[in-house]
Amino acid sequence: MNRIYLDHNATSPLLPEVARGMSELLESGTAGNPSSLHQDGRSARRILEDARDRVAAVLSVEPAEIFFTSGGTESNNLAICGLVTDHPSVSASATEHPSILEPVKQLHASGRPGHIIPVSASGRVDLDQVPEEGLVSVHWFNNETGISQDLDSIAEKVHQKGGRFHSDGAQGFFRTPVSLRDSAVDAATITAHKAGGPSGVGALWIRKGFLQQPFIHGGPQEKKIRPGTENLLAIHGMGILAETCFKEPAWNRNQLERLRSLFLETLQSSTSHKAVAQDQDDWPGCINLSFEGVHAETLLVRLDMEGISASSGSACSSGAREPSHVLKAMAIPESQIRGSIRISMGPHTTEDQIHKAAKTLGRISEDLRRHSTGAPPVS
């Protein structure tokens, strides 16, 4: 069966260039530890620093400002716990990834002041509720809805009394061009596997001089900010991803917008549903849909049986039965949230796949709704 993969916000398959580059490194027999002083260690160090240079170049920052980690979750925790030390409070938006919300809530529980910033029904942060001091974290693109935030406006508010601003950019970096040097952000979380790079690797960009202390301790790796032997193969793959996206971007926003429109138009003709609205600044490769009278888990199992991979939200929390905290923060009724799924497209998603997936989704949702309510199908 030729499966249709529509879960790129969870993980996007390796781009061919990345897969080739990682295979070449494996076949080369490079086995040194980048911290070793012998020739093999020095060879590994060159590979590591070359990847750092590539990532820094595509983001228009200094290589010394890039710290490699095991992925977005570690980068987010490092940012929250490492940047907050000399600030009176820590706050984050209500629609953040759990790897932001959980450490923030832990700090609140231990006595650190701050609050969870509400969002409007559109999923945008309420600027009036953004603190003017302390550490504030607000994502770039939301992983469940594709909704973007006005980072520069938020940062301007945070900086009014000397606060610092971090953004989780896991769903944006390497997909869309950005210059961090010219942004108002002070620190940003970067990951590879959402854009066609390897899993198990990420980075934290911190504007020079901003990090106070690491939250784990050990050896001298990554300037003691993230101790532990580096994942050389994955970091090499991340470097190739950065260079590939710089020279010939794999993610075509216009194409994703066309696919989104095609999907929604095709689905509209076969079943009733509600989709989270987007504007031109949001990520078009993500579609959040809700089907009244249908349970998302059952719908996803049926889709999987027909060769279509989708999800009900964050891959880090999809095993939980709690309603999506993102959709709850947007004041979406719980009855609607229970039938919500996420479709996320990638560089190699085709119109034929989108048409087939939408038709299949419409047929299955109507079948499930009819069996649960006894209602006739939509004509």
State residue 41's pLDDT score: 93
State residue 82's pLDDT score: 84
Rounded to 5, what percent of the chain is helix, strand, coil? Answer: 40, 15, 45
Contacts of 376 (CB under 8 A, 6+ apart): 370
State residue 339's pLDDT score: 94
Per-residue CA distances from 72 to 149, 180, 358, 378 (Å): 18, 17, 31, 42
Quick check: 205 and 196 in contact, CB under 8 A?
no
Decide if 286 is catalytic. no
State residue 379's pLDDT score: 44
Within the chain, residue ranges assigned H as helices are 16-28, 39-59, 72-83, 98-109, 151-158, 232-247, 253-268, 296-305, 325-329, 334-337, 351-373
Angle made by CA atoms 182, 185, 190, in degrees to the nearest 5: 100
> Of residues 81, 245, 286, 316, which has the active-site annotation?
316
Phi and psi dihedrals of 119, rounded to 5?
Answer: -120, 160
How many Å apart are CA 334 and CA 324, to the nearest integer? 9
Beta bridge partners of 116: 92
State residue 318's pLDDT score: 47
91 CB-contact burial (10 Å; exposed 0-12 / middle 13-18 / buried 19+): buried
CATH 3.80.30.20 fits 4-12+251-373, yes or no: no
Quick check: 232 and 47 in contact, CB under 8 A?
yes
3-class secondary structure for 245-262? HHHCCCCCHHHHHHHHHH
User: Domain locations in the chain?
Assistant: 4-12+251-373, 16-247
State residue 87's pLDDT score: 67
3-state secondary structure of 210: coil
Quick check: 262 and 254 in contact, CB under 8 A?
no
How many Å apart are CA 223 and CA 65, to the nearest integer? 10
How many Å apart are CA 279 and CA 180, to the nearest integer? 23
Q: Along the chain (379 residues), what's the average pLDDT of each consecutive run of 10 residues?
A: 93 97 91 90 95 97 96 95 80 98 96 95 95 95 98 95 95 96 95 98 92 77 87 97 92 97 93 93 97 94 98 60 90 93 98 98 94 57
Please name the CATH architecture into which domain 16-247 falls: 3-Layer(aba) Sandwich (3.40)
pTM: 0.93
Give the HSE-up count for residue 360: Cα atoms under 13 Å, Cβ half-sphere.
20
Task: Provide the CA 257 distance to its chain's centre, in angstroms.
Answer: 19
Count of H helices and E strands in the chain?
11, 12
How many Å apart are CA 57 and CA 62, to the nearest integer? 8
How many Å apart are CA 9 and CA 146, to the nearest integer? 9
